[in-house]
Structure 1
Amino acid sequence: MTTSSLDLASLLCSRLCHDMLSPVGALSNGLELLADENDPEMRQRCFELLEQSARISTEKLKFFRLAFGAAGGFGERIAVGEAKVLVDALVANNARITVNWSIGSDVLPKSAIKTLLNFALMAIEALPRGGTLDLAAELRTEQIGDGTAELVVRAAGPRIAFDRDIGRALEGTMPESELSSRTAPAAMLNQLANDVGGQLQFMLEDNALVLGAVLPGA
């Protein structure tokens, strides 16, 4: 599968707009309600909803900036803590998902951080009824200036929901003509892995989804 940079960027923009529509729309609706509301308690409730929608919008934009974008302002290696904050914020309002971290390195290459964030997003979406999200990462250094980033993200819970087209895009077996905004992030990861000579894997079971990556040349 080969996808032009323009086509992939367009699909990623579509995905970003789709995911941002709900919190931004809630801001607009909240402002309309506030304009017509005179009751002090209801106005306070409107302000709380506006604050919540603004926070969610900001957190999602920060997440997508690093997960999909060029991540300007970051170096070639990024603190894992940056990714942890973004993922934890993404599930903060979902009490049905428990997040566990097992990180063996303080920093990872930008490509590994982007992969970790996108894996986390796929895993979260695979848990519509909640469950456990486990994220593990390690930078194995063979010699000075060289190393391999190893990532594993596991979603476990009832009724795992994972579109196998996303798996095809991860593997690079999906035709370019069939790509969509839903599968574009997986196609992006496939290209990132190919660029560094890495590998992506996924395993789907009845109650679990496992996503893995080996990215050499870190």
Structure 2
Amino acid sequence: MTASVPALDLASLLCSRLCHDLLSPVGALSNGLELLTEEQDPAMRQRCFELLEQSAKASADKLKFFRLAFGAAGGFGDTVPVSEARALVDALAGSNGRVAVNWMFGVDSLPKPAVKTLLNLALIGLDALVRGGTLDIGAEATGSAIEIVVRAAGQRVAFDPAIGEALEGRLRSSELSSRTAPAAMVQQLAASVGGGVQVHVTAESLVMGAVLPVG
């Protein structure tokens, strides 16, 4: 089961996922710089600068997102402003250009495990919208628990069943990969506080919900 994955193995898989996602924008930066050294036409040089700026922003946005989603950004405080999580997801979705994000928050801040859960569920939702669509994200406190819902909807939702199994703690640790590692981390976060995650998927929508007890 995913709950038994050693912390070092999970950390290694998350690092692999981060490197995979950064490879494209960082590679574009390298290619752009190479072109810039050879290009003499002013119009083309200006275009190179624009592409470099876009790639640099995409790299920075991904690093900021993964720093909080996977790491310990903001230190080890108890809560994180939801506005910070929103800005990170909006920036990540903005680089896609085909996904509209809608927010429904009933709180101003969330415990760090809840923020990490929200960010990783949002990442899974974005990955599923291969042809674009909408990503609805909601979170509220019910007194005894934090409830988080992420819904991805579009013409085609591409969702690997292994990710659903990892979210619900049904995937064998030997079957984990960098693709399913974020889902495994969400499951472990929820389990560590006595909560859980549920998934429902159709051809046109993916709904993921997490309940995290507090106190």
Q: CA deviation at 1:97?
A: 1.3
Q: Counterpart of 1:205?
A: 202
TM (normalized to structure 1)? Answer: 0.95
Q: How does 1:40-189 map to 2 (within 5 A)?
A: 40-73=42-75, 75-141=77-143, 147-189=144-186
What is aligned with 1:144? none
Partner SS, residue 49 of structure 2? helix
Q: How much has 1:18 moved relative to structure 2?
A: 0.4
Query: What do residues 119-158 of structure 1 show as CA deviations (whole Å, max 9, x unaligned)?
Result: 11111111111111100000222xxxxx311000001111
Q: Report how far residue 206 of structure 1 moved.
A: 1.6
What amino acid does structure 2 have at the position aligned with 1:158?
Q
C-alpha contact 2:165 2:171 (8 A) present in aligned 1 = yes
Equivalent residues, number: 213
User: Helix, strand or coil: the match of 1:117?
Assistant: helix
Name the amino acid aligned to 1:14.
S
Distance 1:97 1:173 in 2: 29
Q: Distance in 2 between matches of 1:57 and 1:74?
A: 25
* Distance (Å, rounded) in 2 between the aligned partners of 1:74 and 1:51: 32
What's the secondary structure of 1:91's corresponding residue?
Answer: helix
Measure, in 2, the Cα distance between the counterparts of 1:107 and 1:71.
15
Q: C-alpha separation between the residues in 2 aligned to 1:108 and 1:72?
A: 13
Query: What amino acid is aligned across from residue 26 of structure 2 in structure 1?
Result: V
Match of 2:152, SS?
strand
**Structure 2 length-normalised TM:** 0.96
CA RMSD of aligned residues (A): 1.0
Shift of 1:73: 2.9
Percent identity, aligned pairs only, is 66
Deviation track 1:164-204 (CA, whole Å, cap 9, x = no partner) reads 00001111111111100000111111111110000100100
Give unpaired runs (5+ residues) of structure 1: 142-146
Query: What displacement does 1:74 show?
Result: 5.4
Amino acid at match of 1:32: E
Look up the SS of the partner of 1:92 in the other structure.
Answer: helix
* AA matched with 1:134: D
The 2-side partners of 1:93 and 1:168 are apart by: 28
After alignment, is 65-74 or 98-107 more displaced? 65-74
Distance 2:8 2:70 in 1: 14
